[in-house]
Structure 1
Amino acid sequence: MAPPTSTPAVVDVDVLIVGAGPVGLNLAYQLQRFSSPPLSSQNKPISVHIIEKHPKPMQEAFGRAVTFWPRSMEILSQMGLGDQITQQCVAVRTSAAYDTTGTEVFGRGWSFLEGIEDTRFKFASVLRQKFVEDIFRAELKKYGVQVSEMKSFVSLEIDESIAPGEKGRVKATILDTSGGEGQEKEYVVRCRYLIGCDGSRTVVRGAAGIESDGDRTEDKWVRIDGVLKSTTMPKPRSYGAIESPIYGNVLWIPLDHGATRLGFAMNEERRKAYKELNQEIFIEEAKLSVKPFEIEYERVDWASVYSVGQRVARTFWAKESVFLAGDAAHSHSSGAGQGMNAGMHDAVNLGWKLALVLTGVLKREVLETYSLERQPNSKKLIKYDEDISVLVSGRLPKDYTGDKTEDPNVVLGKILQEAKGFNTGLTIGFEPNLAVLRDDSGVEDLSAVAAKRSIVPAPAIPGFRAPDIQVLTPALWEPVWLQSLMANVARFYILVFVGKSAHAKELFMGLKADLQKNQRISPSKAPITEAKSNGVHLNGDSSLAQEWPVDFVTILPEKVGNAWFELGTDPLGRVYYDGDGSANKRYGVDSDSGAAFVLRPDGWIGARFELEAKTVIDDIDFYLSRLLC
């Protein structure tokens, strides 16, 4: 919990989080959510101390990230936050690109926006970071947790005589400047784990001895947010790209609360034209950048110029006790709009793993999969961003192998379109590891297969997201999205597709019989007390705290009047119908024989088993036993 106003000399907690941006706040929220009743039978929730160097008003003045892409919205929605974001965001479904004459040129810029598929979030959710932080802070307040502002991380000490994960292994020195100049004082936080979410200028990364790779370019980018009094831009509510001969590819984003963001590269020649760069200069440059269109500002909320750089940490955890997340782990330009999204992926990947380790449900070895899964994807993002940032500045990348006379704006549009799956987050996948049971040994050309898997829709195989498809509710036959039925409450879901044939029904009966013999995942042992999260009724019972956190969902291949009549027995967990066969098809299931999927709490598929194997329960037990205590 947050310490009192007068911070004691020593604070003892389970987790110290350095940095209270969206990533740090998200992690604090998950640790509280997954360890507090009714989702946990623990007597005490995980204790968290979250610090931030700057007071909230100063943080808000930084501007920063604005866009959530579809996969980010899926995972946030499964955490119960989707409605709060969609209530405030601008849902941008269209794009517009204009050449130097102001003529609209189709298929360039952000055109992939209009071709988003395989998700119910077929748009960019634009909500400025400060409002996202407000949502997380409000949720944390419900758990009695507040951000300790004006506290800076100073140094780190790991007590190797204390076993990893035990109390007091990590000692961090914190500088408290809340008393004002001359009243600074230091205090110590003793904790089990420390998470560095302290941005691209991270101090935690260096203190943990984690090296990083990359560099910083000489490019300078301007970002300016404000409310426009007037504009001649034809489509001001679209995600826009204006191809300026001076500023490269100018970014235009409609923001929440009636505002608009403009972003453009300011080369050295333009910068030399001014003795100093200030808000007035940014406004004048913004007006020039959108030519031949006109803009007039009613007010400016924020304006800044910053250097573009790409760096990625060599590992996202060190000494079995210190994690990095967000910009502290990987910094890049905002050219592809990935900053807040990559950070959300970090937080959601780490959140359930750390929470379940701290509550004694998950084995500590699973923590290693956080870096194994997120670091390669961050390296991929950095490589992608290196090209994007150069193209946005109006130049071709140095290692570009295509036609050297090609228009950089055209190349930019092509790259954004080709990387649609990665940009939207819908094809982000993980290699086999402790939490991903997939056999790639029979694949001859893994690089070719990986390229194929990066195309939307990605296959429904272990290591990739569980597709969100519509199924029908019993009796009413009303359509409902599958992901909305499986909230992220730090539980695993076993999704059973029952086949159509009589043989498939026999396989299901055999599966149920085997399940009754299993003491760890048997439905007869499933918790019975009702809890509610994200509008879905879930199960939880403190008397069964040692049972594995598993829920079942059964999908029947057709809509029927009653599941019992169809199966000759009760379904496993809640039951829904695949009315038109699209669910079976999207999951690659033979609708005659059926299959079972183990979905991780974060919504990625952990394992898949064919019901024909007749050893499904043993196979599921094997997968879960690698992870769960």
Structure 2
Amino acid sequence: MAPQESPADVDVDVLIVGAGPVGLNLAYQLQRYSNPPLSSAAKPISVHIIEKYPKPKQETFGRAVTFWPRSMEVLSQMGLGDQITQQCVAVRQSAAYDKSGTEVFGRGWSFLEGIEDSRFKFASVLRQRFVEDIFRAELKKFGVEVSENNSFVDLEVDESVPAGEKGRVKATILDTSGGEGKEKKYTVKCRYLIGCDGSRTLVRGAAGIESEGDRTEDKWVRIDGVLKSTTMPKPRAYGAIESPVYGNVLWIPLDHGATRIGFAMNEDRRKLYKELNQDVFIEEAKLSVKPFEIEYERVDWASVYSVGQRVAKNFWAKEAVFLAGDAAHSHSSGAGQGMNAGMHDAVNLGWKLGLVLTGVLKRDVLETYTLERQPNAAKLIKYDEDISVLVSGRLPKDYAGDRSEDPNVVLGKILQQAKGFNTGLTIGFGPNVAVLRDDSGEEDLAATVAKRSIVPGPAIPGYRAPDVQVLTPALWEPVWLQNLMPNVARFYVVVFAGKSAQAKEAFLTMKADIQKKSRLSPSKAPLVEAKSNGVHLNGDSSSAQEWPVDFLTILPEKVGNAWFELGTDPLGRVYYDAEGSANSRYQVNVDSGAVFVLRPDGWIGARFELGSKSVVDDIDSYLGGLLH
């Protein structure tokens, strides 16, 4: 819907408060999942997205700059990867320097140079303002624009309205677009409200959601600008300069030729100035990078802020109000996780809410948003508490190692140890209705979880579906598996067909059994062997709606034609694992094969043995727990 020219009551499916990357991402997903040509939904999901500040004002904020590999994978599956890589700085190199300016290795952001198990073996640096431009342009294609100068005031949840029905939530919005003295309020009635309104969120309090954490006395400076000159040896690397006064100074090469410098400004430094303004930040930035020299051509943004960590106890309330991004969890920028954690929230909630609103997914599945994202946010907060202290040049109070150690050395170790979490490649979820995994046999679950945090992560339910290269039929051209499974709110059943005769027989049996499950979209796996008067016989003739499921078949070898190998058409599209790398990465026995059900967000939902007689019933049962 277009921005409101004058306040008027609005009646929509979803109200999104906050038009930063998280809110824009969610609005984009809900439109993408319910509009042609990617959706056959009878009616597109209606969205009203508001933002307190106009875009020019938003652009004066520095904010986040880095996407790590997993974020780029999920954004790519949303169809946005190319737009980001066209503009971003792909940073593949790190550099750390001690107080004398001597390069030291294994410190700072050194984990950046060892990224593996992803196409995106680099940090994708693109300032938030340009990320927002991409999302806004995509939303405009769906006819959705941000209603700027509109602030959230309060909300009311009408318990008499059934959960999920229109009008359950009533939000009061203040429109200030008319200028001072002409402010007006209007009401938004909606099924669901999503608070993406940042660390100073009003939605969280209005929804009655408590949070835990605190704010420290540390203050950090961030300054973005174009340098006229510098003696920094590697200015295009993700840098760390170990200053005895300013802590571990951050140096990031930004898009459009700019550079970000960040450092802790202690109380003694702050007391030197009557006012902390841009001139002060420039002067302090020059001192923070000593012994190197910098000279600014232009400063785009500079600010000082307090460091704090908070996490909401629940990410949704009253079966109607969600929190995402900084509204759900706020932390420092020390590990560069802010925008990434927000993207993970958005991709987790987006498909679930989208499919609920289009009537496909059971509403109970919405509970898994908190179950999956809150523990990861809490982990990030604990991790960030240590990182923020180390960046400020001190050891954490509870550090169990040698208290005489250099905080810069400890920082490098912690960042390296947390590589899987930093890159997002080992972020996993516990068993729930959307993650079919049994951990009851693990004697030491904590040790098991720790092991699963090592890159490459395990190819098991609850963890990301690894991106591997397979070959296209006929042309034998390599293609990335994630590119074959775009996030259009559909599940993917990926069948690794085994080499053995038993596996081939199991494949034929599986295919025949699928025809008896009408909800598993038999049209995508036509049973050409059985016909009556030229009409395909699909077994179950009930009128149950077809589930949003697509099939892929991965053959274990490069062949001339899939039929000759299988004795039938493959299930869905077919690709070849010529070198065995796909089977290996998915931990599949190449002789016996296996079946995976991948969720729309790219995480593995379930795994089954191809040779199991109940494999189709098991797939049907897993999906039946989620879908109507």
Verify same fold: TM over 0.5. yes
Task: Tell me, in whole angstroms, the C-alpha distance in 2 between the residues paired with 1:132 and 1:564.
Answer: 45
2: CA distance, partners of 1:174 / 1:302: 29
SS of residue in 1 equivalent to 2:425: coil
- TM-superposed CA distance for 1:509, in Å, is 0.6
Distance apart, 1:613 and its partner CA: 1.4
Aligned with 2:625: secondary structure?
helix
The AA in structure 2 aligned to 1:355 is G
Q: For residue 6 of structure 2, what is the aligned residue in structure 1? A: 6
Q: Is the 8 A contact 1:363 1:627 kept in 2?
A: yes
User: Following the alignment from structure 2 to structure 1, what is the Cα–Cα distance between the partners of residues 171 and 494?
Assistant: 43
Q: Which amino acid is 2:2 matched to?
A: A
For 2:511 and 2:425, locate their aligned partners in 1 and report how far apart those are by CA, in whole Å: 33
Q: Is the 8 A contact 2:4 2:147 kept in 1?
A: no
Deviation at 1:392, TM superposition (A): 0.1
Describe how 1:171-182 pairs up with structure 2 within 5 A: 171-182=170-181
Question: C-alpha separation between the residues in 2 aligned to 1:567 and 1:179?
Answer: 68
How far apart in 1 are the matches of 2:211 and 2:544?
41
Report whether the alignment pairs 1:60 with 2:59. Answer: yes
Q: Quote how far apart the aligned CAs of 1:545 are.
A: 9.7
Alpha-carbon distance between aligned partners in 1 of 2:125 and 2:196, rounded to the nearest angstrom: 22
> Who is 1:417 aligned against?
416
1:290 is matched with 289
The aligned counterpart of 2:487 is 488
Q: Does residue 255 in structure 1 map to residue 258 in structure 2?
A: no
Partner residue, 2:395: 396
Q: Which residue of 2 aligns with 1:570?
A: 569
Partner SS, residue 432 of structure 2: coil
1: CA distance, partners of 2:509 / 2:213: 54
Q: Is the 8 A contact 2:315 2:328 kept in 1?
A: yes
Between the aligned partners of 2:291 and 2:217, the Cα distance in structure 1 is: 27
Q: TM-score scaled by structure 2?
A: 0.97
CA contact (8 A) 2:7 2:185 kept: no
Structure 1 residue aligned with 2:86: 87
**1:448 lines up with 2:415 in the alignment:** no
Read off the aligned partner of 2:187 and give its amino acid letter.
Answer: V
Cα shift at 1:612: 2.0
Q: Which residue of 1 aligns with 2:498?
A: 499
Q: Which amino acid aligns with 1:459?
A: P
What residue in structure 2 maps to residue 552 of structure 1?
Answer: 551
AA aligned opposite 1:55: P
1:627 is paired with a residue whose SS is coil
Letter in 2 for 1:228: L
1:205·1:324 contact (CA, 8 Å) conserved in 2? yes
Distance 1:522 1:83 in 2: 31
Shift of 1:2: 3.4
In the alignment, the residues of structure 1 paired with residue 490 and residue 74 of structure 2 have an alpha-carbon distance, to the nearest angstrom, of 14
Equivalent in the alignment of 2:133: 134
Q: Aligned equivalents of 1:337 and 1:129: distance in 2?
A: 13
- Classify the secondary structure of the residue corresponding to 1:397: coil
Tell me how far 1:473 sits from its aligned partner. 0.8
Mapped to 1, the partners of 2:514 and 2:360 lie a distance apart of: 21
Q: Which amino acid aligns with 1:33?
A: R
Distance 2:547 2:20 in 1: 33
How far apart, in 1, do the equivalents of 2:246 and 2:276 lie?
Answer: 16
Whether the 8 Å CA contact 2:3–2:146 is kept in 1: the answer is no
Report the Cα distance in structure 2 between the residues aligned to 1:43 and 1:327, rounded to whole angstroms.
Answer: 34
Matched, 1:600 2:599: yes
* Preserved CA contact (<8 Å) 1:553 1:574: yes
Q: Aligned residue for 1:534?
A: none
Q: How is 1:113-132 mapped onto 2 (pairs within 5 angstroms)?
A: 113-132=112-131
- The two structures, once aligned, show a CA RMSD in angstroms of 1.0
SS of residue paired to 1:405: coil
Partner SS, residue 144 of structure 1: coil
Q: Mapping of 1:449-468 within 5 angstroms?
A: 449-468=448-467
User: Deviation at 1:611?
Assistant: 1.1
Give distance in 2, aligned partners of 1:622 and 1:190. Answer: 36
User: Is the Cα–Cα contact under 8 Å of residues 41 and 545 in structure 1 kept in the other structure?
Assistant: no
> Hey, what's the Cα distance between the residues in 2 that align with 1:114 and 1:299?
30
In structure 2, C-alpha distance between the alignment counterparts of 1:463 and 1:268, rounded to whole Å = 45
8 Å CA contact 2:518, 2:544 repeated in 1: no
CA deviations over 1:454-480 (Å, ceiling 9, x no partner): 000000000000000011111111111
Q: Secondary structure at the match of 1:228?
A: strand
The aligned counterpart of 1:541 is: none
Amino acid at match of 1:329: A
Q: Give the Cα separation in 2 of the matches to 1:217 and 1:306.
A: 11
Q: CA–CA distance in 1 between the matches of 2:385 and 2:449?
A: 21
Distance 2:524 2:577 in 1: 27
User: What is aligned with 1:155?
Assistant: 154
Deviations 1:398-424 (A, max 9, x none): 000000000000000000000000000
Which SS does the other structure have where 2:104 is aligned? Answer: coil
Q: Is the contact between residue 523 and residue 573 of structure 1 (CA under 8 Å) also seen in structure 2?
A: no
Partners of 1:124 and 1:526 lie apart in 2 by 40
Partner residue of 1:34? 33
Structure 2: distance between partners of 1:439 and 1:399: 34
8 Å CA contact retained: 2:521, 2:547: no
Do 1:519 and 1:525's aligned partners in 2 also have CA atoms closer than 8 Å? no
Q: Which residue of 1 aligns with 2:111?
A: 112
> SS of the counterpart of 1:35?
coil
1:224 equivalent in alignment to 2:258: no
Q: Is the 8 A contact 2:598 2:606 kept in 1?
A: yes
Shift of 1:522: 4.0
Distance 1:524 1:331 in 2: 46
Partner of 2:336: 337
**Kept after mapping to 2: 8 A contact 1:231/1:295:** yes
C-alpha distance in structure 1 between counterparts of 2:304 and 2:40, whole Å: 49
Q: Aligned pair 1:316/2:336, yes or no?
A: no
Query: Is the Cα–Cα contact under 8 Å of residues 486 and 493 in structure 1 kept in the other structure?
Result: yes
1:423 to 1:484, Cα distance in 2 relative to 1, 3 A: same
**Would the aligned equivalents of 2:224 and 2:261 in 1 still touch at CA under 8 Å?**
yes
Distance 2:397 2:99 in 1: 24
Which residue of 1 is the match for residue 359 of structure 2? 360
* CA–CA separation in structure 2 for the residues paired with 1:209 and 1:72: 30
1:525 positional shift? 5.9
**1:535 aligned partner:** none
1:199 maps to which residue?
A: 198
Tell me the alpha carbon deviations over residues 346-375 of structure 1, each in whole angstroms, 9 at most, x when there is no partner: 000000000100000000000000010000
- Corresponding residue SS for 2:553: strand
User: Helix, strand or coil for the counterpart of 1:192?
Assistant: strand
Residue in 2 that maps onto 1:77 = 76
Structure 2 Cα separation of the partners of residues 4 and 85 of structure 1:
30
Query: Could you tell me how far 1:64 is from its partner in structure 2?
Result: 0.2
> How many angstroms apart in 2 are the aligned matches of 1:43 and 1:77?
27
Per the alignment, do residues 358 and 351 of structure 1 end up closer, same or farther by CA in structure 2, a change over 3 Å counting?
same
| Residue 38 (structure 1) shift | 1.6
Instruction: Output the CA distance in 2 between the equivalents of 1:43 and 1:513.
Output: 31
Residue of structure 1 in register with 2:304 after alignment: 305
Cross-structure match for 2:407: 408
Question: 2:521 and 2:133 mapped to 1: Cα distance?
Answer: 41
Deviation, structure 1 residue 292: 0.3
What CA distance in whole angstroms lies between the structure 2 residues aligned with 1:5 and 1:347?
29
* Secondary structure of 1:281 counterpart: helix
CA–CA separation in structure 1 for the residues paired with 2:405 and 2:34:
55
- Partner Cα separation in structure 2 for residue 213 and residue 325 of structure 1: 16
Instruction: Give yes or no for contact 2:3–2:148 (8 Å, CA) kept in 1.
Output: no
- Structure 1 residue 516 displacement after superposition: 1.2
Q: 1:242 — aligned with what? A: 241
| Cα distance between partner residues in 1 of 2:550 and 2:17 | 34
- Measure, in 2, the Cα distance between the counterparts of 1:567 and 1:319: 51
Give the Cα separation in 2 of the matches to 1:57 and 1:613.
59
Deviation at 1:587, TM superposition (A): 0.2
**For 1:132-170, what per-residue CA distance to the aligned partner results, in whole angstroms no more than 9, with x for missing partners?**
000000000000000000111001101010001001000
Cα-to-partner distance string for 1:52-93 (whole Å, 9 max, x where unaligned): 000111111011000000000000000000000000000000
**Offset from partner CA, 1:225-267 (integer Å, 9 cap, x none):** 0000000000000000000010000000000000000000000
How far does residue 526 in structure 1 lie from its aligned partner after superposition? 6.8
Identity of aligned residues (%): 85
> Hey, what's the Cα distance between the residues in 2 that align with 1:14 and 1:397?
46
Shift of 1:3: 4.7
The AA in structure 1 aligned to 2:206 is A
Once the two structures are superposed, what CA deviation does each residue of 1:17-76 show, in whole Å capped at 9, x if it has no partner?
Answer: 000000000000000010001222233210000000001111110110000000000000
